[in-house]
Amino acid sequence: MNIVVLAGGLSPEREVSLTSGSLIANALMENGHSVLLLDVYVGIDEMPSDPLTLFRRDGTYTHTVSEEIPDLDALRARCHNGNALIGPNVIDVCQAADLAFLALHGAMGENGQLQATLDAFGIRYTGSGYAGSLLAMDKDLSKRLLCNAGVPTPEWIYLPRAQSDAVRCVIEAIGLPCVVKPCGCDSSVGVSIVETEGDLKTALDEAFLWGAVLVEKKITGRELTVGILDGEALPIVEIIPKTGFYDYKNKYQGTTEEVCPAEIPAEATARAQELARRGFTALRLSGYARLDFLLDRDGGLWCLEANTLPGMTPTSLFPFAARTAGISYRELCEKLVELAT
């Protein structure tokens, strides 16, 4: 097959995405496919008469995630694409391919915009459709649906915009300590754990830089994640940050310990996997996804969010869980191609 791997994008998670995309592209070439790794925001300025000449069957793509969140303003200035989310000739390349493998994280890649665009052009792609992507990325909507499906999630308040009384609203509705996070970002971008009222305004101001904000009651517990592949739960991974919490740096700089299968009671394992499957269905997801949980001291499980395009970097949790289940990285990539809609 001719497969275009879409990565990058105008997203704070573009560095992670490009690393995932590189590994996916390499695995697909090893599986015998012709592949093009394409930054969906940068695009291709000059298209050859035959787009398939851009695809290749050998070679190696590489990219390394830096510690810093990327400077999107500098990217806009360099590419001269402004706020257009799809770069030149991206759709043409996707139409020439047999399949678009989505390796994007956050923003357009996971909020349904790209999926809806590809649907409009009749382009086949991996992962969930536009509706499931939208529902999972919007943390307020997803938590409402999870609650309706009987999947516990921490108490929260939704703040659609910055407001002068935001601190008071949070204190009255949630109290302290709490977790402040952008409503539509992934990879823990803009997330802060707030212990004191003095730090709350700073955390809210930072999160509002990314749009609407969600503030949750802080749950203390063990961090777990459950991958779903073709409707079935993978072995559970426990995430143990060496310092702080599972933030952007800890996720991608190898400063966490991951244990799979998680060393938790059998009943907690069964319950978490069942809740993950239930959440997967409630959010209308398809193909694959990863749902994050906290296991509190009393054995309660709390779903934090769902990730519709889980990371596929060297430190990513979804490939780790698949590997524990006996599915190699190459086999996993091939399975996702087979599940594409």
**Topology of the domain comprising 156-217:** Dna Ligase; domain 1 (3.30.1490)
How far is the C-alpha of 136 from the C-alpha of 304, rounded, in Å? Answer: 11
Share of the chain above pLDDT 90, in %: 82
What tokens appear for 243 in the block?
Answer: 């310092």
What tokens appear for 260 in the block?
Answer: 């799979």
Amino acid at 213: V
Q: What is the pTM of this model?
A: 0.90
Largest Cα span, the chain: 63
Cα–Cα distances (Å) from 244 to 15, 203, 239, 295, 297, in that order, read: 22, 16, 12, 17, 19
How far is the C-alpha of 132 from the C-alpha of 110, rounded, in Å? Answer: 9
Residues with a known catalytic role: 13, 187, 252, 290, 292, 305, 307, 311
pLDDT digits (tens, 9 = 90+) for 143-176: 999 999 999 999 999 999 989 999 999 999 999 9
Mean pLDDT of 114-141: 97
Mean pLDDT of 18-28: 96
**pLDDT at 185 (0 to 100):** 72
**Topology of the domain comprising 2-125:** Rossmann fold (3.40.50)
pLDDT at residue 57 is higher than 50: yes
Cα–Cα distances (Å) from 47 to 15, 43, 52, 54, in that order, read: 25, 10, 10, 9
Does the 136-152+220-338 domain belong in CATH 3.30.470.20?
yes
The residue among 240, 171, 158 whose CA lies nearest residue 200 is 171
Amino acid at 159: L
| Domain residue ranges of the chain, discontinuous segments joined by + | 2-125, 136-152+220-338, 156-217
**pLDDT at 250 (0 to 100):** 46
Helix (H, G, I), strand (E, B) or coil at 279: helix
Radius of gyration, alpha carbons of the chain: 20
pLDDT at residue 247 is higher than 50: no
Element (H, E) at 337: helix 329-338
Share of the chain above pLDDT 70, in %: 95
What tokens appear for 192 in the block?
Answer: 């802060």
CA angle, 15 then 17 then 23, to 5°: 110
Mean pLDDT for all residues in the chain: 93
Q: Say how many CA atoms lie within 13 Å of 4 toward its Cβ.
A: 26
SS (H, E, C) 135-195: HHHCHHHHHHHHHHCCCCCCCEEEECCCCCCHHHHHHHHCCCCEEEEECCCCCCCCCEEEC
Mean pLDDT of 268-292: 98
Mean pLDDT of 115-122: 98
